[in-house]
Each structure stands twice: as C-alpha cells, then as structure tokens.
A and B are shown apart, each in its own frame.
Chain A
Amino acid sequence: GAVVSQHPSWVICKSGTSVKIECRSLDFQATTMFWYRQFPKQSLMLMATSNEGSKATYEQGVEKDKFLINHASLTLSTLTVTSAHPEDSSFYICSARGESDTGELFFGEGSRLTVL
C-alpha cells in the first residue's frame, strides 16, 4: 500500500525556537495533505489542509502565522511550528490522500513535539 513518511518522530526543543516537521508520500503523488494535532487522550484535530502549489487552508482557531505549512511539491509538505511554547507540545500527524477512487487517507508515523 501507499506509504507516507514523517520526520522527525521525536523532537525536543527549547521554548521560543522553531521546529520543522516533514511529511513525504513515498510512492504516490499527493496533491492534498492534511496536518493533524492530537493531545493525550483526545481525538485527531485537523489543523490545516495543504494543497500543492497553493496556500494551506487552516481550520478555525489555528494560527497560520504560528503553524507555517509549505507544500512545494507533490510528495512533500512541511509544518513549521514557529516560536514554540510548552502548550504546543503535542503529537502532530500528517496524512495524504491516495490516488484511488476511495480517497483513502494514508497517515505518517506522527511526530511527538516536546517544548521545554
């Protein structure tokens, strides 16, 4: 099946620094990728929809200047958490829509961010 790779799996950073998370579709082209955030014991919360070659669409309440999303190619989307603070500590997961008619989503492995 389709594979989505997310990197890094774990990242610890100091408050005020920026962190970049990459999401790659390894064996298919993904015109649309999604970024989710998941706090402990909570469901996935869609942050933004990333469209190749255009600006991301952010969900209500998500600061677009804080969570920068770039989808410069059909196989790569990046999420940059700028000036991270402890409350940004979370599990960030990307997904890409497959090429089948079902529009099945394939998920990356997730990135656990801890801001000290």
Chain B
Amino acid sequence: GQNIDQPTEMTATEGAIVQINCTYQTSGFNGLFWYQQHAGEAPTFLSYNVLDGLEEKGRFSSFLSRSKGYSYLLLKELQMKDSASYLCAVVDSNYQLIWGAGTKLIIKP
C-alpha cells in the first residue's frame, strides 16, 4: 500500500529552527509537495521537490532524498504566524497526490 508518515505534532520556540520530516512509500514518485494549512483555511503551497537535494526559499527550505523515501521541511527564524499544520504530499505514478496526515506545529513565545 501507499503510506506517508509525518509526526502528528511538534512544538518550537519563536525565533528558533524546526525540521518537519516526511517519509513515504508510494507506487512511483513524481514529486513531493509541502503545503501549509492554518486552521479553518485551505492549504497554501510551500514547495515542490522532484530531484534530490535542498531547495531554499526564504525562511523555508525543503529537502528530498528519493533513495531513502524521505523529505523534510526546515523552517528558520520561526514566527508566531508559522503556527499551522504542514502537509506532505507525494505525486504517485498515476499523478495522484497521496497526502500525509499533517504535522501540527505549535510556536511558543
């Protein structure tokens, strides 16, 4: 079967750095997305990785290792507004998205 694993909840301090991991087992791989979702709102796009390595975009970076079936989202200089759920989603061989359950990130002052 297809499976996406990410931690249910993480807590971090304002101004710090946090890494949210995602491991996947899917039938085929055509890229991995990270989305941010605030409570009661639709998800917003953060990053897309299809090649191995690190992609940096401002305070957010995303890393992918296809051989390990592993990705992480790195958030630097955390702000209170970063409190949200972070969703990992893999595009499988049929170009369908397989979603993780999301990681709820709590930022404390």
Residues of A within 8 A of B (CB): 1, 6, 34, 42-44, 46, 49, 91, 93, 102-110, 112
Contact = CB atoms under 8 A, between A and B. Distances in A.
B60 interface: no
A110 B91 contact: no
B50 interface: yes
Contacts of A93: 42-43
Contact of A108 (B30, B31, B42, B50): B42
Given A46-B97, A112-B40, 6 more contacts: A34-B97, A44-B43, A46-B96, A105-B33, A107-B44, A109-B42
A103 B31 contact: yes
Question: What is the interface of chain B mostly: helix, strand, loop, or mixed?
Answer: loop
Contacts, number: 43
Nearest to B97: A105
B102 A103 contact: no
A102 B44 contact: no
B33 A104 contact: yes
Contacts of B50: 102
B64 to A, nearest CB: 13
A43 B100 contact: yes
Given A43-B87, A44-B87, A102 B48 contact: yes
Q: Which of A1, A43, A107 has the most CB of B within 10 A?
A: A43
